[in-house]
A and B are shown apart, each in its own frame.
Chain A
Amino acid sequence: MKRRAFVSAMAAAAVWPRVRPARWGAADFLLVPMDEAQADHLKAYGVAYRVLGRQGRAEWFLNYRNGSFLLPADAGTVRDAALAGVTALPVAAAEVDRIRGELAGTNADAVPLEKAPRVAVYVPPGTPPWDDAVTMALNYAGIPFEKVWDAEVVGGRLPAYDWLHLHHEDFTGQYSKFYLTYAGAPWLREMVDLNTRMARQLGFPDVPAAKKGVAARVRGFVDRGGFLFAMCTATETLDLALAAHDVDIAASYADGTPMAADAAARLDWSRALAFQGAALETSPTVAQFSDIDGHQVNAPGRRQPLGAFTLFEFSAKIDPVNTMLVQGHRQVIPDFYGLTTSFRRARLKPGVTVLADEPGAPWVKYIHGELGQGTWTFFGGHDPEDPQHSIGDPPTDLSLHPHSPGYRLILNNVLFPAAKKKELKT
């Protein structure tokens, strides 16, 4: 469903049927505020998701109290909110009518949420859940997901899901370019063994070739109507792998041959989702991939300091998709590093929507776009609550960050596919 059709569907959507749910005191509904009154912003997404999982219906009040949810006041939802420690205010139907009037008169809107998206996270087997911001957010909010990796992707399992997340996978097949720096480290050895075995099992000559195959199938998933959300290295390397479909861009330690001497010139950017015209990082010892990333955290002499990024404001009624993706209670959010922290403006394809940037800086943080029947969203950085993230850092405990505005952006992406009006797959 393309954006115009989606907007039309929103406008045409009937206001919530006035079937009275089981009453909770005098309440007809629960309003889950997402402003400063909310006790746990992140778990609120889980409560809304589980309503959909129980075949219930919910509404997302975009830009109303920082993106609040209207949920049924049934016993299950009341119990769920209480257990999660989520602030949920009982409201009568008349009060809901008043809110709808307020939505109509401001840059706000009500988006019906109808279907719990089936979520897949691309992650190697055995990876601890604490090394991926999305997995942490999903675990903390209590949103169920399944793990997929190369075998499932190449084996054609992606159509079983609505939403796919990629995190810090290196789709150039160079083990995040840690191969030389961390040579001998047990975790790296395991990573190399695992990837090499999987590539062979799937019939690819080497790991870079296998990852290109995976990247192509991920692209196909989006093209056929899937929702893709990627963070950190996955953003940049996915596009590099797509653009390098018939060019060797991997160092010799990864595939036995050095990077093609004219690799940068031969990249086919028409296959990429977000970027174009990037220059490749040719040194096998510098853990950066190209000049797409603005911060170059691992490139001595090129590393840029962290600032803060600002979310753009969109028209809720005309542009509900982008509005959903930027719902938050903070407009300015401290930046955080990842192997890919940000995206240089000069490398963005025309047509890419910037959702957040650092004003005055030559890079942006959070971008969105469409491909075929689906959409993709890229968010730079590794962990919004661990700005300097390094290998071996202790895991982030989200119960200490229940109001994290950065993690809210991730969860906006998880819930946004629920707003679709019809089945996604063709």
Chain B
Amino acid sequence: MRRGVRARWTGVAAAVLLAALPRGLVAQRPAGNPIQQAFELERRGDLSGAAAAYRALLAGNPADLTALLGLERCLTASGRVEEMIPEVRTALASAPAPTLYLLALRVWAGAGLPDSMRTVAERWAATETDREVPYRAWGDLLLQRRDLAGARRAYTAGREAVGRPEILSAELAQVAQLEGDFVAAAREWLLAQRLSPGYRGAAVAGLAQAPARQRDEVRRALAEPAEPEGLGLAALVALKWDDPAGGVELLRRALTLIGPRGGADLATQFTADVRALGTVEARRALGEGLELLAERRSGAPAARTRLEAARAYAEAGEVGAARRMLDRIAGDTAAGGELAAQAARTLFEVQLAEGALADAAATLAARGAAFPVEDRAAMRLRLARGWMRQGRLDESERLVAGDSTVEGLAVAGRVALLRGRLAAARELFRLAGPFAGTRDEATARTALLALIQPVRVDSLPALGEAFVALERGDTTGAVTALDQVAGALPPAEGGASLALYAAELTVARGGADGERRLRAVAASGIPATAAAAELDLGRLLVALGRPAEAVAQLEHLILTYPGSALLPEARRLLDRARGAVPAT
């Protein structure tokens, strides 16, 4: 059969070959005019043929730029670009033009003839009004070939030829950077700034790469001349070095030199850049930068900038500075009602953040009417949660009394839970449903409902105290209280699930006996709770770098509780523990 198949294919192949032969032969000779033929040969990869075709065209017209560029492509791809030197010389002699000079520079560079490059650049410069252009092209070609010394010579020659110290400074800065001399680069970038402020972005990006050991000197090179350009540059570079505090100080010095009416563009760029840094220090620098920017604005834009500054200060925990900004807005007649309301809202946030709940309540009472009804309700609930966190359940309850929104019911349910009124909490959580609050809040509420569901008593103040401790951030106290409550309840009536919760809290705070607690719950045999404990154990063992034990645990979970809703998650974790999927 194999022989038969081969014979058949040989026949078919021969037929195909015969049919294709005339077309194949025709295809060897591209149709069209000479330049199209040359292009076609080049496209097919017949570089020798294409080069010959381009040369034939040049024999008729030595300055045919299309043919010269085609010849350059073919010879460059073959590593033989130096072979076209005669053609380039002839072309230059017959019709010198900038494009030809540039081509000559490329060919000379490819042929490794730096002296000839200089000659071409000088001849070209003699014909140019913009005299640095040829020197820039010469240097750029050497830079591409990583000939840093040659590039420096070219740019310096250009600077000397033009006779101005700032000429080609951006190019020389790049050379210095590639040589690893960022101090010299900084000096050149300063010159480039004088030439055009448009170089600021490139300068910042370049100097950002300076190694740590050179940074102090770079900073001095920029800042010590005590010029606004250098100080501004230094401020922006400091941000790239993750030094927002140093940056804002340099910005302040630059703006002082510029004066009270100028420098808004610099301050704007600084605040835009510092926003990208996520640290507290950066938020503080943002606040200061915005405050400086606000001084350079007037009317409503100034008030809006101060409001932004207040928010940044608040996020940085600089409550005093935030209040200072908000006070300025309050005393600013240019700030309209909307802006004043936003300022009051920010003040409320600041007060909440610093735990000054009585002040926040007063702000809400005094300025609440300025807010839309929905915002006012949301602020009231935030205040209620704040009171809850401080264990002031009466105040919290008073704020949500009569609130029949799902968000209000959710907060009321949590207050009931903290008082240990489990029946009321269950009912309020049920009424709040799954859509109140954020997704995380809804998930947490559902988890709490699942936790107290099996507890068959309506009131359990000791459990409420455990949750109050948790609200206050006292995890140790919460775990102790949960242990006591769990120990007093039958495992199937909430004892096991509360013990699991205590174990999860212990693991979350890195407690040493988290694993022991989880194993104890897993051994309880209460189906849903034990399965959840086994999954938690699997996670813990993976996190502890004990994948083999995690695999055994998860296999036990999957085989023991085949109907558990946790199985998809368990299998995924099993894959991770085995290294079958990436740990993302």
Interface residues of A (CB under 8 A from B): 2, 4, 79, 82-85, 129-130, 139-140, 142, 252, 257-259, 261-264, 279-284, 350-351, 394-399
B568 neighbours in A (Cβ, 8 Å): 85
Residues of A within 8 A of B457 (CB): none
In the complex, chain B residues 185-226 whose Cβ is within 8 Å of any chain A Cβ:
none
Which residue of chain A is the closest to B555 with respect to CB atoms?
A: A83
Please determine whether A397 and B45 come into contact, CB atoms closer than 8 angstroms: no
Report the 5 A-B pairs with minimum CB-CB distance, sorted nearest first. Answer: A258-B79, A395-B582, A282-B45, A261-B48, A139-B580
**Per a CB cutoff under 8 Å, which of A261, A262, A351, A398 touches B581?**
A398
Query: Chain B nearest CB: distance from A312 CB in Å?
Result: 19
What count of chain B residues pass the 8 Å CB interface test?
Answer: 31
Closest Cβ of chain A to B20, distance in Å, is 10
B373 within 8 A of A: no
- Contact residue among B1, B13, B77, B584 (Cβ-Cβ distance under 8 Å from A283): B77
Is B572 an interface residue, CB under 8 A from the partner? yes
Kindly state the separation between the CA atoms of A4 and B80 in the bound complex, as whole angstroms: 54
Take A85-B571, A279-B44, A399-B572 as given contacts and tell me if A258 and B584 are in contact as well, using a CB distance cutoff of 8 Å: no
Closest CB-CB distance, A275 to chain B, in whole Å? 15
Tell which of B2, B47, B562 touches A82, judged by Cβ atoms closer than 8 Å: B562
- Residues of chain B within 8 A (CB-CB) of A395 are 582, 584
* B581 pairs with A350, CB closer than 8 A: no
Whether a CB of chain A sits under 8 angstroms from the CB of B567 is yes
Known: A82-B558, A82-B562. A261 touches B584 (CB 8 A): no
Asked whether, in the complex, the Cβ of B47 is within 8 Å of the Cβ of A261, the reply is: yes
**Which residues of A have CB within 8 Å of B120?**
none
Beta-carbon contact of A140 and B575 below 8 Å: yes
Q: State how many angstroms separate the Cβ of A394 from the closest Cβ of chain B.
A: 7
**Can you list 5 A-B pairs, Cβ within 8 angstroms, ordered by A?**
A140-B575, A261-B47, A263-B45, A394-B584, A397-B584
Interface residues of B in 1-32 (CB under 8 A from A): 1-2, 9, 12-13, 16
The complex places the Cα of A4 from the Cα of B2 at a distance, in Å, of: 9
Chain B residues contacting A282 (CB-CB under 8 Å) are 45, 47, 77
Q: Are B558 and A264 in contact (CB under 8 A)?
A: no
In the bound complex, what is the Cα–Cα distance between A165 and B1 (angstroms)? 29
| A258 pairs with B13, CB closer than 8 A | no
Contact between A85 and B559, CB atoms less than 8 A apart: no
B interface vs A, CB < 8 Å? Answer: 1-2, 9, 12-13, 16, 44-48, 77-80, 555, 558-559, 562, 567-568, 571-572, 574-575, 578-582, 584
Given contacts A85-B567, A264-B44, contact A350 B79 (CB under 8 A): no
Q: Is the CB of A142 within 8 A of B580?
A: yes
Contact A83 B574 (CB under 8 A): yes
Q: Please determine whether A258 and B77 come into contact, CB atoms closer than 8 angstroms.
A: yes
A318, chain B: closest CB distance, angstroms? 13
Q: Are A4 and B77 in contact (CB under 8 A)?
A: no
Q: What separation, in Å, do the CA atoms of A4 and B3 have in the docked complex?
A: 12
Q: Give the complex CA separation of A282 and B1 in angstroms.
A: 42
A4: chain B residues at CB < 8 Å are: 1-2
- Specify which chain B residues have a CB less than 8 angstroms from the CB of A259 in the assembled complex: 77-78
Residue of A nearest to B42 (CB): A282
The interface residues of chain B lying within 8 Å CB-to-CB of A281 are 45
B9: contacting residue among A139, A261, A350, CB under 8 A: A350
Cα–Cα, bound, A156→B319 (Å): 73
CA–CA, A281 to B77, complex, Å?
Answer: 11
Shortest CB-to-CB span from A50 to chain B, Å, is 13
Q: Which of A142, A264, A396, A399: most chain B CB closer than 10 A?
A: A399
The answer, among B45, B558, B567, for a CB contact under 8 Å with A280, is B45
Q: Is the CB of A399 within 8 A of B45?
A: no
Residues of A within 8 A of B562 (CB): 82
Expressed in whole angstroms, the Cα–Cα distance for A125 and B562 within the complex equals 39
Task: Please tell me if the beta carbons of A140 and B79 are within 8 angstroms of each other in the complex.
Answer: no
Closest CB of chain A to B119's CB: distance in Å? 28
In the complex, the answer to whether A258 meets B572 with C-beta atoms within 8 Å is: no
Q: Which of B12, B78, B572 contacts A350 (CB 8 A)?
A: B12
Is B77 in contact with A351, judged by CB distance below 8 angstroms? Answer: no
Q: Contact at B79–A252, with CB atoms within 8 Å?
A: yes
Contact across chains for A82 and B559 when beta carbons are under 8 A apart: yes
Is there an interface contact between B45 and A279, defined as CB atoms closer than 8 Å?
Answer: yes
**C-alpha gap A154/B46 in the complex (Å):** 34
* Bound-state Cα–Cα, A345 to B44, Å: 18
Residue of B1, B79, B582 touching A130 (CB-CB under 8 A): B582
Pairwise interchain contact A397-B555, C-beta atoms closer than 8 A: no
Residues of B within 8 A of A85 (CB): 558, 567-568, 571
Cross-chain contact A397 with B582 (CB below 8 angstroms):
yes
A residues in contact with B79, CB < 8 Å: 252, 257-258
Q: For residue A40, which residue of chain B has the nearest CB?
A: B571
* CA A264 to CA B47, docked complex, whole Å: 11
Please determine whether A83 and B558 come into contact, CB atoms closer than 8 angstroms.
Answer: yes
Chain A residues with CB under 8 Å of B78's CB are 258-259, 261
CA A79 – CA B558 in complex, angstroms?
10
Distance between Cα atoms of A142 and B12 in the complex (Å): 44
Q: How far is the CA of A2 from the CA of B4 in the complex (A)?
A: 13
Besides A82-B559, A84-B571, A350-B16, 6 new A-B residue pairs in contact (Cβ under 8 A), listed by A number: A82-B558, A83-B571, A139-B579, A280-B45, A350-B13, A395-B584
